[in-house]
Structure 1
Amino acid sequence: MSAIDQLPSFSAGARTMLGDEVYGALQQSILEGTFPPDARINAGELARHFDVSPTPVREALARLESDGLVEKLPLRGYRTTELLDRRGLEELFELRLLLEPGTAANAAARRSSADVAELSKEVTTGRSAIGDANAYRLLSQHDVRLHDLVFRAARNETVRLAYTRTHCHLHTFRLAYTGAYVTDTVDEHAAVAEAISAGDPDAAATAMRTHIERSRDRLLQVID
């Protein structure tokens, strides 16, 4: 069975959502390895599989290229990118250690009651993923939301957008598509959220630094 045969199919209707649906299906298939690194992606075959015009497929592939999950080959279509190597992973986490502990400290100093409520709700959502059949997919979505909430609470849109453009969560979850770290990750998120909610910048920075360092070490074990 080919990778395309393993993709979901969509029924007719809800035409305005087709582009997002195609993008979501392809992104998930790349993250979980249905499309492995360096796999060719044929836009025409995708359009036939999804029973859509080429336009939503082209739009989805353009978004995946922006994510860094595919690259366009001159006159040859698209291919999936390689996984991060050890050096790339270390550099990515070096950037995170520069940005996120300070951001967490700022979030603790600047958070609103709405921020506190959203962080608490997101931690609860993360815990609900534990034991679920789709735990890792749910965790990846939770992780993106939790970190974005911290950036939003810090009230620095420039830093938030700079971080978002790295697409670091997509690349790290693609590297280690396994549910082994669900409990640890959510516990670490909870510690960050609690420190921010308590208005303790030092504790928030420490909790975030600990979380990032432990995430890095878990992923380095996968590479090694």
Structure 2
Amino acid sequence: MSTLGQLPSFTPGARTMLGDEVYGALQQSILDGTFPPDARINAGELARQFEVSPTPVREALARLESDGLVEKLPLRGYRTTDLLDRTRLTELFELRLLLEPGSAASAAERRSATDLEELAHEVEAGRTAVGEADAYRLLSRHDVRLHDLVFRSAQNETVRQAYARTHCHLHTFRLAYTGAYVSDTVDEHAAIVRAITDGDPSAAAESMRTHIERSRDRLMRVVD
């Protein structure tokens, strides 16, 4: 089992934000490989490194356990979980193909003016992130927001929450943090948003399906 890695720089803030900041710092460290798979994580050691009380660390670890990024070991603290294998990754993309093209079609029919404004803004945010020093981190977050906006525009909260519980994006980002996300992804997002903006359900569904299949193929090349 690996040992605890070097934490990113951290400046404690107000108590109401402390738990979120610890959670964000730990999540980033797991996604970028600072904490590799099967790394032992000790809450007391984290509290000392962050210079905080154990409470926000325990809260953050509980959230990370819900994300599927860590697991609790009886009497031994926590460990980071293993990376997805090819079978599990294939299953996640099969689920995406079941849920997301239909949701994109519904979004084209049900989207509001506010939805369209937010979708357009998110595509622009993705474009401005390309080429930045921390592009992968920025684009990963853009990806989460864009797909969630499509689900929100579809106005089916049950489907949105069902997908969110898979934490699919977290696990795929972690699997290929070094660069499976390319600028082509933003172009694919733009095509989805265009179809939704045009109110074209068939084009929205097809654009989403194409995007998911290409994302799957890009990631599988990294895994292989």
Q: Is 2:119 the partner of 1:135?
A: no
2:181 maps to a residue whose letter is Y
Q: Is 2:135 the partner of 1:101?
A: no
Residues in 2 aligned to 1:193 and 1:96: alpha-carbon distance in whole angstroms: 17
2:106 maps to a residue whose letter is N
Give, in angstroms, the shift of residue 200 of structure 1: 0.2
User: Residue 10 of structure 1 corresponds to which residue in structure 2?
Assistant: 11
> In 1, are the aligned partners of 2:101 and 2:206 still within 8 Å (CA)?
yes
2:29 maps to a residue whose letter is S
Residues in 2 aligned to 1:89 and 1:159: alpha-carbon distance in whole angstroms: 20
Give, in angstroms, the shift of residue 8 of structure 1: 1.7
Residues in 2 aligned to 1:198 and 1:126: alpha-carbon distance in whole angstroms: 20
The correspondence of residues 48-63 of structure 1 with structure 2, limited to 5 A, is 48-63=48-63
Residues in 2 aligned to 1:7 and 1:148: alpha-carbon distance in whole angstroms: 28
Give, in angstroms, the shift of residue 15 of structure 1: 1.9
Give, in angstroms, the shift of residue 5 of structure 1: 3.1
Give TM-score scaled by structure 1 length.
0.96
Give, in angstroms, the shift of residue 10 of structure 1: 1.7
Alignment gaps of 5+ in structure 1: none
> In 2, are the aligned partners of 1:135 and 1:182 still within 8 Å (CA)?
no
* Alignment RMSD: 1.1
**Paired-residue identity, %:** 78
Quickly say closer, same or farther: Cα 1:180–1:5, change in 2 above 3 A. Answer: closer
Alignment gaps of 5+ in structure 2: none
User: Residue 158 of structure 1 corresponds to which residue in structure 2?
Assistant: 158
Residues in 1 aligned to 2:160 and 2:216: alpha-carbon distance in whole angstroms: 20
User: Residue 115 of structure 2 corresponds to which residue in structure 1?
Assistant: 115
2:215 maps to a residue whose letter is S
> In 1, are the aligned partners of 2:70 and 2:78 still within 8 Å (CA)?
yes
SS of 1:8's equivalent? coil
User: Residue 223 of structure 2 corresponds to which residue in structure 1?
Assistant: 223
Q: Return structure 1 stretches of 4+ with deviation > 6 angstroms.
A: none
User: Residue 70 of structure 1 corresponds to which residue in structure 2?
Assistant: 70
The number of aligned residues is 222
2:74 maps to a residue whose letter is P
Residues in 2 aligned to 1:115 and 1:147: alpha-carbon distance in whole angstroms: 12
2:199 maps to a residue whose letter is G
Give, in angstroms, the shift of residue 180 of structure 1: 5.2
Give, in angstroms, the shift of residue 181 of structure 1: 3.0
Cα offsets for 1:165-196 (capped at 9, x unmatched): 00000000000012453311100100000100
Residues in 2 aligned to 1:106 and 1:96: alpha-carbon distance in whole angstroms: 15
Give TM-score scaled by structure 2 length.
0.96
1:6 maps to a residue whose letter is L
